Structure 1
Amino acid sequence: MLDALQNAFFQTGDTLTSWLSAFSSFLWGWPLLIMLLGTHLYLTAILRFPQRYLLKALKLYFVKDHTDKGDISPFSSLMVALAANIGAGNIIGVGVAIAAGGPGAVFWCWLTGVLGMATRYSEGLLAIKYRVENKDGNMSGGPMFVLERGLNSKWLGAAFAVFTAIAAFGIGNLTQGNAAAEQLHHAFSIPSWGTAAVLTALTALVMLGGIQGIARVCAFFVPFMAVIYIMGCLYILTVQAEYIIPAIRYILDCAFTGEAAAGGAAGAAVMAAMRTGVARGLFSNEAGLGSAAIASAAAQNRNPVRQALISSSGPFWDTVIICALTGIVLTTSIIAHPDISCTDGPRLTTLAFSKIPYIGSPLLTLSLVTFVVSTILGWSYFGEKALEYLGGIRLIMPYRVIWVAAVFIGCVSKIELVWIFADCANGLMALPNLISLLALSGVLVQQTRYYLWQHRLDDYDESHIPEGK
């Protein structure tokens, strides 16, 4: 009887995986790819390539704004956003992308990060301009408020909030816990339930502190974990230096010719590399999803453009730097070590780091676990704000209970289903957010012209912040 129930359970899981895979392929077809990359390009053009202000954005990290409009510092808001962005998608997800679309997916992932800086700039600007103050005196903002207050479309705002609350479990919870459990089991033979218990308890403890507690933890974790991981990548590249140029050529060849993608004609292979790379790039930096804007809305900043510049640097770190490093490391490892194959997917990063004597596997495990913890915390805040928009602050505590329980479930779930679920949720979130960015492009240009192009970046925005729920 037990065996029959178990078989039925796995058959149902396989059927659901097939359905979600088909829906993901449809959702991430040409229409969404064109809309996403088109929005990136359009915003880059009308805002006069805001990526060129990267150094100015980095300097603003260390400038404290003397204003009471906001809950956390601009730097802390960026750390919360980066905590949510830099996770399993930057490490395990790049390997999954290479397995599905070939090494060429790395190029499209990287390009999505570069162009996505303009989109993240726009999301941060609109988040500050249209944020509200809730009954507890805390700031609430993001695409749902932009859609409601900027476009007078409350139903689209509600749709985005629903997609965000659901997507949070995929991109920010289930996939993260799953990746941590897999890595700890592979590296140290720790059972999944052990990882689940510790990660669940840690998440519950930090979430009690609200956004301030989450921000404090993220401000410590994010710089630490990024430096550790980047050092590991640089060490591998140093050891495999002779393969770096061949790896870059290999990535570019696969991006435009489809070489090494699994099966099909060249055009179909290029499409597979593009679709997989763009999807993984969005999963990594979330430019176009609108989720990071929820953290931007909580920042203490004197005007929307200052926060927009800080926000725009997010994709630079998590995709242009970290995902690119990961992709090059994996490709050099594939070339240097015949026992490593493009088809290894989720294990590809683990295999690459295992080539570092003694410290490789522990270093990757430490990086991944810290990435996972911070991502779960960052996305818990995004989910809370989405639920708060839909039904007020009374929904926050029940959501936290469900969130903590989902951390445990994610650690012991089936990884293929989890990743496909996350891709589907991402696409649904992107649609209403991209609509708001395109429809309010005039506001973006007007605010950028006034504060940035006319050199008023130090001016204070005295606009009244209305009350929310």
Structure 2
Amino acid sequence: MAEFTKLISSVSNFIWGMPLILLLIGGGLFLTVRLNFFQFRYFPHIVSQTFGKIFAQSDSPGTLTPFQATTAALASTMGAANIVGVPVAIALGGPGAIFWMWLVALIGIGTKYSEVVLGIEYREKNKHGEYVGGPMYYIKKGLGWKKLASFFAFALMIEVIASAMVQSNSIAATLKSSFSIPPLASGIIVAVLVILVTYGGIRTIGKVSEKMIPAIVVLYLLSALIVLAVNSKEVPAAFGLIFQHAFTPISAAGGFAGAGVAAAIRWGLARGLYSNEAGMGTAPIAHSSAMTDHPAKQGFWGIFEVIVDTLIVCTLTALVVLTSGVWKGIAADDASTMVAASFAPVFGESLSGFIISATLFLFVITTVVVIIFYGEKQAEFLFGTAFSRVMRFVYIIAIVIGAVGGLQFIWQFLDLLLAAVVIPNLIAVLFLNGKVREITKDYFTNLYPNKKRH
């Protein structure tokens, strides 16, 4: 079993190394060029249509408001990666990793936008009158590749089992260390909360995420901004480190082992790619339920996701860690404690620990709710709405088992299953780039000039 686990780990590490990084970055660059660098040319307009319309209502076809659909999608991307993943990238790649994280986020905008646009373009109504969509629909309807669509759906449906276990285990570990709550009790609590939210379907998920995600993000951002205000004199130096060591190696210091440019690029790219899930195909499943009268409009909300998740939240995490200086004294193995250590001098150890634990707990709860919804939609696509309820039961059981650390061998397949989801989606998005270009051109030719006049 140990040899088999080692083999799975080796294969996963290889796939999620250069092969997928090159595919994701190459795909993002290709789409950015095909769309004439629209995310840069029309950036003010995109901001006005998203940040400027957070509370806007819509009477267009759809199940959720554009913002509800976006917060539902954000719920699966916002989480431990923003608070724990960024310090790990700095510990292994140095401050320069953040520059490469920004770069890949700007490139990934093209991919995220394209996914969401295709999700809206090829969505349909299910028997309950709800709009459903995602890669399985645009692979099947846009390309006619029914077998690949089914493969994607099956891979994601199974991947959610492992993912729910891992997420549940991380919640249980946090609650045990912070509040001495037994893992089994944590698993049951999480399972009950997930049942209550998912029972109402996408409408309830949208309403919950619309309130919880902004509240959690604001709590974390305010805490981070207070720390940065205290360490304000160090902010310019932190930016200097980011830009300088994106292109030059950095020496060891204290617990920091030093890092070359290659390490900065590798960890920065990985963090940028994984933090906002551009190219993974999950976001369009949530966005496909949005009320919108044009696919490009909801595509802008996909861009909003990347800006909030990577360019705002991850950047503030990086600045907190760099300005506090903790990155020099904490080794890579303990990098996950860097944010709490940065908060401690300002808020005290107890309060900083509570802020981080509460934030992680709420992030992970919303993540679990949304990924289970994603899994259910795959079951619905493959076998109908009745079977989606069966899979919901399976996912709930997985939450409890994962909380106590059971069936950990299944976790080893998480990255492989995720690769089996990402690759078909990226292939489909790249093959459908002409449709995305056509939709984008239609918006900026026929709707954008009218918006400018008004």
Structure-1-length-normalised TM-score: 0.86
Q: Cα offset for 1:190?
A: 2.7
Q: Cα offset for 1:411?
A: 2.6
Q: Cα offset for 1:402?
A: 1.3
Superposed, which structure 2 residues align to 1:8-407 within 5 Å? 12=1, 15=3, 17-51=5-39, 52=43, 53-67=46-60, 69-171=61-163, 173-259=164-250, 269-333=260-324, 335-336=325-326, 339-355=329-345, 356-357=347-348, 358-407=350-399
Counterpart of 1:467 in structure 2 is none
What letter is aligned with 2:59?
Answer: H
Counterpart of 1:466 in structure 2 is none
263 and 321 in structure 1: CA distance in 2 versus 1, 3 angstrom threshold: closer
SS in 1 for 2:63: coil
201 and 265 in structure 1: CA distance in 2 versus 1, 3 angstrom threshold: closer
219 and 281 in structure 1: CA distance in 2 versus 1, 3 angstrom threshold: same
CA contact under 8 A between 1:175 and 1:418: conserved in structure 2? Answer: no
Q: Cα offset for 1:264?
A: 11
SS in 2 for 1:62: coil
453 and 387 in structure 1: CA distance in 2 versus 1, 3 angstrom threshold: same
Q: Cα offset for 1:102?
A: 4.0
What letter is aligned with 1:241?
Answer: S
CA distance in 2, matches of 1:177, 1:219: 22
CA distance in 1, matches of 2:406, 2:272: 22
Q: Cα offset for 1:80?
A: 0.5
CA contact under 8 A between 1:254 and 1:260: conserved in structure 2? Answer: no
CA distance in 1, matches of 2:9, 2:234: 34
Structure-2-length-normalised TM-score: 0.88
CA contact under 8 A between 2:87 and 2:327: conserved in structure 1? Answer: no
**More displaced 10-residue stretch of structure 1: 230-239 or 181-190:** 181-190
Q: Cα offset for 1:91?
A: 1.5
CA distance in 1, matches of 2:251, 2:406: 27
Q: Cα offset for 1:420?
A: 6.5
CA contact under 8 A between 1:243 and 1:336: conserved in structure 2? Answer: no
426 and 242 in structure 1: CA distance in 2 versus 1, 3 angstrom threshold: farther
Counterpart of 1:451 in structure 2 is 443
CA contact under 8 A between 2:251 and 2:258: conserved in structure 1? Answer: no
Counterpart of 1:4 in structure 2 is none
Return 5+ residue gaps in structure 1 as ranges: 1-11, 460-469
CA contact under 8 A between 2:380 and 2:388: conserved in structure 1? Answer: yes
1:139-162 Cα distance to aligned partner (Å, 9 max, x none)? 221011111111111122112212
CA contact under 8 A between 2:175 and 2:186: conserved in structure 1? Answer: yes
CA contact under 8 A between 2:256 and 2:332: conserved in structure 1? Answer: no
Q: Cα offset for 1:163?
A: 2.4
CA contact under 8 A between 2:90 and 2:98: conserved in structure 1? Answer: yes
Counterpart of 1:7 in structure 2 is none
**More displaced 10-residue stretch of structure 1: 185-194 or 361-370:** 185-194
CA distance in 1, matches of 2:181, 2:140: 47
CA distance in 1, matches of 2:57, 2:392: 31
What letter is aligned with 1:291?
Answer: T
SS in 2 for 1:302: coil
1:29-81 Cα distance to aligned partner (Å, 9 max, x none)? 323212211221222222233331233332343333323x3211111111100
CA distance in 2, matches of 1:418, 1:256: 39
SS in 2 for 1:220: helix
CA distance in 1, matches of 2:384, 2:68: 24
SS in 2 for 1:354: helix
CA distance in 2, matches of 1:457, 1:130: 26
CA distance in 1, matches of 2:100, 2:404: 31
Q: Cα offset for 1:336?
A: 4.9
CA distance in 2, matches of 1:401, 1:385: 14
CA distance in 1, matches of 2:343, 2:301: 32
385 and 271 in structure 1: CA distance in 2 versus 1, 3 angstrom threshold: farther
Percent identity of equivalent pairs: 35
Give the one of 429, 432, 435 matched to 1:437: 429
CA distance in 2, matches of 1:300, 1:226: 24
SS in 1 for 2:315: helix
**More displaced 10-residue stretch of structure 1: 396-405 or 235-244:** 235-244
SS in 2 for 1:256: coil
Q: Cα offset for 1:238?
A: 2.1
CA contact under 8 A between 1:61 and 1:310: conserved in structure 2? Answer: no
CA contact under 8 A between 2:50 and 2:304: conserved in structure 1? Answer: yes
CA distance in 2, matches of 1:84, 1:125: 19
Q: What do you get for the CA RMSD once the two structures are aligned?
A: 2.9
Q: Cα offset for 1:115?
A: 2.1
1:95-132 Cα distance to aligned partner (Å, 9 max, x none)? 33344444443333332222222211111111111112
